[in-house]
Amino acid sequence: MSDDYWSERYGDLEGIASTTRGRCHLCHENVVLALYGRTGLFGGDTVTVDHLEPQVFGGDDDADNLRIAHGNCNSLRGVKDPEAIRLALAGTTDEPLSDTAFNLLSVGGSVAVGVAAGHAFASTNQRGEREFNQAAAWVAGLLTFAFTRELY
């Protein structure tokens, strides 16, 4: 646990941000935790903590009710259903993947692509048998892994 980004009220901000891989749970864009503060302190990019279940409806400060959001996005949402705001801002009702889910998906996807490439570039050996192309599998798998890290 890092205490670089710490909120008196919510504790470890990086822990909360990891739920959505450091992205605003409403617009899916990255947030800069150094800009944490009350809404508007650093303009629209101010980082705030949003309650999935709004406090006025009884939402508490438990970690599973807390998400990172830009001040602007948080204000836009107000106490409305987060899914409608996500659809408007990010084109999906889902929140960004968590660190854990993303890592599983990235590794799993890379392995799948690698295996597919190994079969696609299979060669025929002297006995006329198809041989899985390990080099192609590794290259394709690692490239896919690198791409998913860059792009998402």
Please give the span between the terminal C-alpha atoms of the chain, in angstroms, as a whole number: 24
Under rule CB under 5 A, residue 25 binds Zn ion: no
Binding residues for Zn ion, total number by CB under 5 A: 5
- Applying CB under 5 A, does 17 fall inside the site for Zn ion? no
2 contacts: CB under 8 Å, gap ≥ 6: 12, 14
Shortest Å distance, C-beta 88 to Zn ion: 11
Least distance to Zn ion from the beta carbon of 25, Å? Answer: 8
* Total residues belonging to the chain: 152
In which residue are the tokens 């290259």 written? 139
Could you give the string, one character per residue 42-71, with x where binding to Zn ion holds by CB under 5 A and - elsewhere?
----------------------------x-
Distance CA(25)–CA(16), nearest Å, equals 11
Q: How far is the CB of 29 from Zn ion (least distance, A)?
A: 5
Indicate the residue among 65 and 75 with the shorter CB distance to Zn ion: 75
φ, ψ of residue 123 in degrees (nearest 5)? -110, 170
Question: Site residues (CB under 5 A) for Zn ion?
Answer: 24, 26-27, 70, 73
